[in-house]
């Protein structure tokens, strides 16, 4: 890494946090390392490895959070919180699942916890911002944008686990097994949740 | 006629992984086919509504630093410990609980009602006392009390005024003088 690492100042670590030695920037380039290598490096005290983890997964984590809360400010706060939790929890990460799946789990839990204390926001942005409008005429762009906004509002009304299942399956393209691992459910329960989510959406959209 | 598709099977049909036998049912059952078509329509609507506005590139430039700051703040907060009021509340609760225990112990003998003790409880207590006779001192007491008649034990533990007089009569002159000297000393000490 060519730039000065922001980790060069040692941060006082709490009892539950990994003991991290001062950063060693010279010659440590983790940008090409796989996730497992990054985790081991981080556990060994190389905070630059954590920086790579953040930069590699930040978009996915942000997108999951955004799909839950539908606004940038809350999604950014939640994504930040996910990586703070990851920083503290990576020492306990057993490697049973992919790092991305584990981060999804942390993110979904953060979103579900937030949903428990705060009513999800309805569509705050103008609908046309969400659609690909490169090749359609304005009328269809508006119509499609409005329909998408209606769908998103309906998704926001789903029960939290149904919503999480739907978002992870449709938008993040995770398998039922991965979703089951994230939500702590069985594969059968995930499929049932997915079915009921679609059924509820159908009812909501018809009404 | 076979059963209609379950919720799981409908999802498997939607994703194209339904087993062949159930796929044949789906193709021949209007109800299941209609349900599957409706789910497919909703799924398509959901996919089309999935666009997310990409944050400003500046956001990603600053996100790393934002995470660093949050981690540092979290570490500092944890190192400092709980807020002062949490410690105070905890201390208050501990002291309060201790005070309650002390008060409960202090008033317990006064509030415990006298009750008739059942025979089986007495028998149980007697057996427990028997178990203590292994101890030498207790055995000595048992031997002493066991050698006395019931009336004699009562005269020792619950002396009557006439019994005291009778006992005084049995003392010699020297013993009486010693007794009086000790009694006067006790009385003078008590009046100080």
pLDDT in tens, A37-90: 999 999 999 999 999 999 999 999 999 999 999 899 999 999 999 999 999 999
Q: What angle do CA B50, B53, B57 make, to 5 degrees?
A: 140
Nearest chain B residue to A73, by CA? B55
User: CB A185: neighbour CB atoms within 10 A?
Assistant: 18
Nearest chain A residue to B78, by CA? A14
User: CB A191: neighbour CB atoms within 10 A?
Assistant: 25
pLDDT of the residue at A62: 96
CB contact under 8 Å between A83 and B67, yes or no, is yes
Mean pLDDT of B12-36: 95
Residue A188 has pLDDT above 90, yes or no: yes
pLDDT of the residue at A132: 52
Ramachandran sector of residue A131 (left: φ over 0; alpha: ψ -120 to 50; beta: rest): beta
pLDDT averaged over chain B?
Answer: 76
Angstrom CA distances, B114 to B110, B117, B119, B123, stand at 10, 9, 15, 19
Q: Confidence band (pLDDT; 50, 70, 90) for B158?
A: low
Core vs surface per residue A129-155: b (16+ CB within 10 A) or e? ebbeeeeeeeeebeebbebbbbbbbbb
**Nearest beta carbon to residue A14 from set B7, B52, B78:** B78
Give the three-class secondary structure for A45.
coil
Residues on B contacting A at a C-beta cutoff of 8 Å: 7-8, 10-12, 14, 38-39, 41-43, 45-53, 55, 59-60, 63-68, 70-72, 74-76, 78-79
ipTM score for this prediction: 0.73
pTM metric for this prediction: 0.61
**Nearest beta carbon to residue A192 from set B7, B63, B76:** B7
pLDDT of the residue at B48: 92
> Residue A52 contacts by C-beta under 8 Å, 6 or more apart in sequence?
A30, A31, A33, A38
User: CB B117: neighbour CB atoms within 10 A?
Assistant: 9
Q: Confidence band (pLDDT; 50, 70, 90) for B98?
A: confident
Mean pLDDT of A2-18: 45
- Interval A138-169: pLDDT, tens: 777 777 788 899 999 999 999 999 999 999 99
> Residue A104 contacts by C-beta under 8 Å, 6 or more apart in sequence?
A60, A61, A64, A168, A172, A174, A178, A182
Q: What angle do CA B1, B6, B12 make, to 5 degrees?
A: 110
A165 versus A127: the higher-pLDDT residue is A165
């Amino acid at each position: 890494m060519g730039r000065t690492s922001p980790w060069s100042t040692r941060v006082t670590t709490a009892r539950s946090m990994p003991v991290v030695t001062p950063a060693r920037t010279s010659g440590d380039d983790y940008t090409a390392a796989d996730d497992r290598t990054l985790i081991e490096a981080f556990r060994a005290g190389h905070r630059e490895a954590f920086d790579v983890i953040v930069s590699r997964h930040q978009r996915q984590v942000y997108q999951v959070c955004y799909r839950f809360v539908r606004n940038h400010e809350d999604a950014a706060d939640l994504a930040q919180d996910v990586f703070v939790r990851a920083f503290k929890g990576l020492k306990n990460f057993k490697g049973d699942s992919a790092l991305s799946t584990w981060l999804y789990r942390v993110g979904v839990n953060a979103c579900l916890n937030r949903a428990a204390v705060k009513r999800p926001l309805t569509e705050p942005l103008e609908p046309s911002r969400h659609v690909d409008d490169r090749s359609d005429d304005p009328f269809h762009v508006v119509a499609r944008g409005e329909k998408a906004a209606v769908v998103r509002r309906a998704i926001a009304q789903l029960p939290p686990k149904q919503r999480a299942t739907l978002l992870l399956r449709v938008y993040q393209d995770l398998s039922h097994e991965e979703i089951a691992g994230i939500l702590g459910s069985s594969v059968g329960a995930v499929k049932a949740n997915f079915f009921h989510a679609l059924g509820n959406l159908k009812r909501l959209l018809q009404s | 006629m076979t059963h209609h598709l379950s919720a799981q099977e409908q999802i498997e049909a939607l994703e194209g992984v339904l087993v062949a036998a159930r796929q044949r049912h789906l193709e021949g059952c209007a109800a299941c086919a209609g349900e599957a078509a409706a789910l497919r329509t909703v799924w398509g609507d959901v996919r089309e509504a999935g666009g997310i506005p990409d944050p400003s590139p500046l956001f990603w430039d600053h996100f790393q630093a934002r995470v660093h700051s949050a981690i540092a703040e979290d570490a500092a907060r944890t190192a400092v410990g709980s807020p002062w009021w949490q410690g105070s509340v905890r201390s208050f609760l501990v002291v309060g609980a201790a005070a309650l225990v002390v008060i409960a112990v202090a008033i317990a003998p006064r509030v415990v009602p006298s009750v008739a003790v059942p025979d089986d409880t007495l028998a149980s207590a007697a057996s427990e006392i028997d178990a203590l006779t292994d101890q030498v001192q207790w055995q000595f007491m048992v031997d002493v009390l066991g050698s006395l008649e019931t009336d004699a034990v009562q005269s020792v533990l619950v002396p009557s005024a006439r019994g005291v007089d009778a006992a005084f009569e049995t003392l010699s002159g020297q013993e009486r003088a010693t007794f009086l000297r000790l009694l006067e000393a006790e009385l003078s000490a008590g009046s100080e």
